[in-house]
Amino acid sequence: MTEITVPGEFYVEAGCEGEVIKTPDPISFWGGYDPAEGRIIDGRNEACGERVTGKIFLFPEGVGSSTTAAVLLESVRNSTHPLGIVNVRTEPILVTGALIARELYGVEIPIVSIEAAGFEGIDDGDWLKIDPESGSLILRG
């Protein structure tokens, strides 16, 4: 087993470990994500139809509506949320959703951004650990 460590910038300081669900396309949570099922529903997104629940969700960046935080919070309320989120560019809108989820529901969703090259190196189905102690992602292959 090999381990690759990818340094990350932590926007929500928390940890988790799980399978990766990745899309190369930017996503708008509002209009592109169904919080009842934790599913990507934007037909323009390569991962359309996939569920992110219980997985570590990788998408390069957020686009579109400022309702993102509420949709993420609703997903937490429904327990359909991803375990963690990894981006290349993390928007404050998304981080806000995670911070409120912690206040309202006591759920921690780590949010980390990494360099584009590191992002390219992680694939759908990979096993990833988000490790706040070392400030990095640990990719197991």
Partner 1 sequence: MRLNEQERRTLNGEYGEANRLCLQIEVELGEAYGVERLIPITGAHIDANSYGRVSGEAKLAFAQKIVHAGGKVSVPTTLNPGGRDISRWRKFRIPEEFAAKCELMENAYLKMGAIPTWTCTPYTYGTIPCRGEQIAYAESNAISFANSVLGARTPRYGDFLEVCAAITGRAPYFDLHRDENRFADLWFHVEDPRPYSFSEDLFYSLLGYHIGGICGGQIPVVTGIPAGVNRDSLKNFSAAVASSGGVGLFHIVGVTPEAPDLESVTTGEVREDRNVVTGRQLLGAEEELTGCSPDDIDLVLLGCPHASVREFQMVLAGLAEKKVADGVEFWIQTNRGVYSWIEEMGILDEIKGAGVKVSTDSCLFNWPLDNWEFERAVTNSAKFAHYAPNELDLATAIRDIDRCVRAAVTGEIEGSGLE
- Select from 20, 52, 93, 122 the one that contacts partner 1 (CB under 8 A): 93
- Among the residue ranges 7-15, 16-24, 114-122, 125-133, the one whose residues contact partner 1 (CB under 8 A): 7-15
Q: What is the DSSP letter of 2?
A: -
- Identified catalytic residue from 65, 75, 79, 134: 65
- Select from 1, 2, 43, 133 the one that contacts partner 1 (CB under 8 A): 43
Nearest distance, CB of residue 93 and partner 1, angstroms: 3
Nearest distance, CB of residue 20 and partner 1, angstroms: 22
Nearest distance, CB of residue 33 and partner 1, angstroms: 9
Asked if 113 is an active-site residue, the reply is no
CA gyration radius for the chain? 14
**The sheet that has 127-131: what strands, in order across it?**
3-7, 136-140, 127-131, 16-22, 56-58, 84-87, 111-113, 9-12
Kindly state whether residue 69 participates in binding partner 1, applying the rule CB under 8 A: yes
Instruction: Give the Cα separation of 98 and 110 in Å (integer).
Output: 8
Neighbours of 2 (CB within 10 A): 6
Residues involved in catalysis: 65
